[in-house]
Amino acid sequence: MPTEIAARDRLIVALDLPGVAEAEAMIERLGDSVTFYKIGMELTYAGGLGLAERLAASGKHVFMDLKLHDIPNTVERATRQIAKLGARFLTVHGFSQSMKAALAGAAGSSLELLAVTVMTSYDDADLAAAGYAMTVKELVAHRAVQARDIGIHGLILSPEETALVRPLVGPGMQLVTPGIRPAGSDVGDQKRIMTPALAIAGGADRLVVGRPVTGAADPAAAAESIVADIDSAVALVGKTNRA
């Protein structure tokens, strides 16, 4: 029986900040309002691995957004290192070899893998230029099913893709969506956006939110408001919850 995900654990705050000091100051300001953090390449390459380890040791959930893709031996060994940090999520590009290698590297740990199906910066013309005879939607669907069959735990998707993908992969995969903007907030460079409540109602399990929280005058209040929005959507749609 799947256990319930608390609304607060559905919010993942992206620490897209230039250095560890800035990230630690933000984590301090956010306090108990945020339980889950995403650390991407920028912060990782600026000393963020130690921060990830400290965050995990302090009881927060850590999502390492490193989008691994290399020969299987390298992906497996790199994944094993990330698992040692105590991270909860790690992204891997949705290629069979990389996904299988990452699963092998995560074996025996509590690290869960999220596959990136197709980068949201890609359109059909970019795929054609890269040699794919598929549309973005077709490739997203193809890779989502492949990820499920390989045993990957979840997918990173735009909130507009969850309705297409959920029926393909079933209830067991975690769908994690960036591109979230609370009503009335700055869109920034995101093109396909949704409010937290709509994204949850549309099938997302967890939301990645960066600037609407970290750029707010009161980040903790912004996080609380998103958690409340998520909570109301979960109650409304009677979501099937997974831990």
| Number of residues binding to ligand C5P, judged by CB under 6 A | 14
Q: Which residue has the tokens 């992969």?
A: 169
Binding mask 31-50 for ligand C5P (x = CB under 6 A): ---------x----------
Residue closer to ligand C5P by CB (options 14, 55) is: 14
Alpha helix segments (H runs only) across the chain? 20-30, 41-43, 49-57, 72-84, 96-106, 124-129, 136-150, 162-169, 196-201, 211-214, 219-237
First to last CA, the chain: 10
Residue closer to ligand C5P by CB (options 107, 163) is: 163
CB of 22 to ligand C5P, least distance (A): 14
Stretch that binds ligand C5P, among 53-61, 99-107, 194-202, 210-218 (CB under 6 A): 210-218
Could you say which DSSP state residue 241 is in?
P
Binding mask 152-191 for ligand C5P (x = CB under 6 A): ----x---------------------xx--------x-x-
Residue closer to ligand C5P by CB (options 40, 86) is: 40
Residue closer to ligand C5P by CB (options 48, 76) is: 48
How does DSSP assign 147-180, residue by residue? Answer: HHHHT--EEE--TTTHHHHHHHH-TTSEEEE--B
Residue closer to ligand C5P by CB (options 100, 211) is: 211
To the query of whether residue 67 is one of the catalytic residues in this protein, the response is yes
CB 80 within 8 A of CB 55: no
- Should residue 209 be labelled a site residue for ligand C5P when binding is judged by CB under 6 A? yes
Strand partners, 180: 194
AA letter at 175: L
- Residue 32, C-beta contacts closer than 8 angstroms, at least 6 positions apart: none
Q: Cα(177)–Cα(206) distance, rounded to whole angstroms?
A: 7
Identify the residue among 5, 16, 56, 122 touching ligand C5P (CB under 6 A). 16
Q: Cα(153)–Cα(224) distance, rounded to whole angstroms?
A: 27
Binding mask 118-147 for ligand C5P (x = CB under 6 A): --x---------------------------
Catalytic residue among 67, 84, 100, 191: 67
Identify the residue among 23, 210, 216, 226 touching ligand C5P (CB under 6 A). 210
Which residues have a catalytic role annotated? 67
Residues that bind ligand C5P (CB under 6 A): 14, 16, 40, 120, 156, 178-179, 188, 190, 208-212
